[in-house]
Amino acid sequence: MLELSEHDQVDDYPALEGTLAPLRRRGMRLAIDDVGAGFSSLRHIVMADPDVIKMDRSIVSGVDSDPMLARLAQSLVEFAPPAPAAVLVGTGTVLAPAPLTA
């Protein structure tokens, strides 16, 4: 699995897709890491069509006790592309939308 993080600058998404396409046909998956750590990771989600979205630990560390973080986490889950994308949290577990529903 190849990870694209918040800190990776992408200036040409079509070129990135052209580079990744043959690898994806061979089974490589793309993950966007540190989602929620900054705004560029949202662009990565929109433009790079990831298979996995890894939510930043700063978002989920207080999701059970902080209503604002819970709403943000829920929004990111809903923002994620439709299946087969998976949303993971900093603990490495799958984050299902149901537990975040108010």
Tell whether 102 is covered by a domain: no
Tell whether 100 is covered by a domain: no
Number of domains in the chain: 1
Q: The domain that contains 43 carries what CATH number?
A: 3.20.20.450
pTM score of the predicted model: 0.72
Length of the chain: 102
In tens, the pLDDT along 46-79 reads 888 888 888 888 887 878 888 998 888 888 878 7
- Which residue range is the domain that position 64 belongs to? 2-95
Tell whether 101 is covered by a domain: no
Helices (H) and strands (E) in the chain, counts: 5, 4
Higher pLDDT, 32 or 39: 32
Rounded Cα distance between 81 and 71, Å, is 18
Tell whether 63 is covered by a domain: yes
Mean residue pLDDT across the chain: 79
